[in-house]
Amino acid sequence: MSKIKIAIIGVGNCASSLVQGIEYYTQNPDADGLMYRDIGPYKVSDIEIVLAIDVDYRKIGRDISEAIFAEPNCTKKFSEVPNKKVIVKMGNVLDGVANHMRDFFQVDSKMISVDIVSELKRSSADICICYLPVGSAEAARFYAQACLDAGVAFVNAIPEFICSDTQWVEKFIEKGIPCAGDDIKSQVGATIVHRMVTRLIEDRGHKIDNTYQLNIGGNTDFLNMKDENRIVSKRISKTNAVTSILDNKKIGVRIGPSDYIPHLKDNKVCYINVKGTQFGGVPFELDLKLSVEDSPNSAGVMTEIIRSLKIAKDRGMSGNINEISSYTCKSPAKQIRDSEAKKIFENFVNEQYGKL
Ligand SMILES: NC(=O)c1ccc[n+]([C@@H]2O[C@H](COP(=O)([O-])OP(=O)(O)OC[C@H]3O[C@@H](n4cnc5c(N)ncnc54)[C@H](O)[C@@H]3O)[C@@H](O)[C@H]2O)c1
């Protein structure tokens, strides 16, 4: 089976876990931790990094096997990654680096961006992943446009509304290119747990009056999100991901990143609270704490998106592939309950390749 060639925009913690994971499941094909060992003909070991773009001079010019462990990345090292002969190249900064992040994402203003469209074409990438910091509205659209110009499929892992936006999807359809997004939904993360718990409560006949989800962490993603102006779309994405699948929309709700606690590093801690009314009008309350390593939690799902989007590409599909986006992202064009989204995703793969 041919390799799935991928380009990465933003060699941060999520990219680190993805690159380490590809190596890990190549060396240990029977190891636990994946939702699917095979997706159609593709295994995780079929994913090959061919291009990496960042703007932090501590990563640029280094092989991706080293750059993924360069500061300020702080996620756990769980895999030895040999030299991949993929040198990280300088991208377009645009709005990727917030003012309060300049000491953390260190940009050398003398470094000039490579031509992204030419690099994407030269690398023969099948799929390009956008792993930019939250709030990179302009930069995310710049790289999405570069994918359109280069004929490369696009995955938007961040809360910018591109693959769920009709006008952008039209552009991907016109060019005959598939895409999936927006805002990746982690394997067992705050969003999926909050969706499951609140749905369970409604399915069992209790009424939800209000709910909150507080998230804290110590990676650059959490530091970047200290600026409320940068996280407007993140709050929308995370809130809609929960409220969209509830019957009662008229509830008090507050969901989103809540603080940066440096010593937590890539450990994300999430507190979910739900208050409501049970049988006989009697009140109930639920409190739940989830503590996870943030970046590997999204990397597993990314291996699913990459492999299924390659199937879409092999089939000549274009535009947003909702069978993939609804299952794997917080803000797909179409929100579907997770149990149904799983069936639709598996049917999408199975229609050609048999049982997942
Ligand atoms: N579980 C998860 O970790 C999860 C879930 C959903 C969404 N996300 C989103 O995925 C994105 C990546 O997360 P992360 O933890 O890897 O972030 P990160 O802060 O570790 O990495 C971001 C990287 O982007 C680089 N960058 C900044 N501006 C750039 C530009 N203009 N061009 C190219 N590179 C640029 C930075 O130097 C850095 O290396 C974030 O938006 C995050 O919110 C993550």
Q: What is the DSSP letter of 133?
A: P
Secondary structure of 187-239 in HEC code, one letter for each residue: CCCHHHHHHHHHHHHHHCCCEEEEEEEEEEECCHHHHHCCCHHHHHHHHHHHH
190-294 placed in CATH 3.30.360.10: yes
Q: Give just the sign of the alpha carbon dihedral 32, 33, 37, 42.
A: negative
Does the Cβ of 56 fall within 6 Å of ligand 1? Answer: yes
Q: 174 to each of 79, 151, 171, how far by Cα in Å?
A: 40, 11, 5
For the chain, the structural domain boundaries read 4-185+296-353, 190-294
3 state SS for 47-70: EEEEEEEECCCCCCCCEHHHHCCC
Structure tokens at 116: 């992204």
Tell which atom from ligand 1 comes closest to the C-alpha of 295: 3
Q: What are phi and psi of 91, to 5 degrees?
A: -105, -170
DSSP conformational letter for 185: P
pTM as predicted = 0.97
Nearest CA to ligand 1 atom 33: 54
| 331 CB near ligand 1 (under 6 Å) | no
Q: What's the CATH architecture for 4-185+296-353?
A: 3-Layer(aba) Sandwich (3.40)
The reply to whether ligand 1 has any atom less than 6 angstroms from the CB of 257 is no
Residue 118 is encoded by which pair of tokens? Answer: 């030419």
pLDDT tens-place values along the chain, 356 residues long: 689 999 999 999 999 999 999 999 999 999 999 999 999 999 999 999 999 999 999 999 999 999 999 999 999 999 999 999 999 999 999 999 999 999 999 999 999 999 999 999 999 999 999 999 999 999 999 999 999 999 999 999 999 999 999 999 999 999 999 999 999 999 999 999 999 999 999 999 999 999 999 999 999 999 999 999 999 999 999 999 999 999 998 999 999 999 999 999 999 999 999 999 999 999 999 999 999 999 999 999 999 999 999 999 999 999 999 999 999 999 999 999 999 999 999 999 998 776 66
* Domain 190-294 in the same topology as domain 4-185+296-353: no
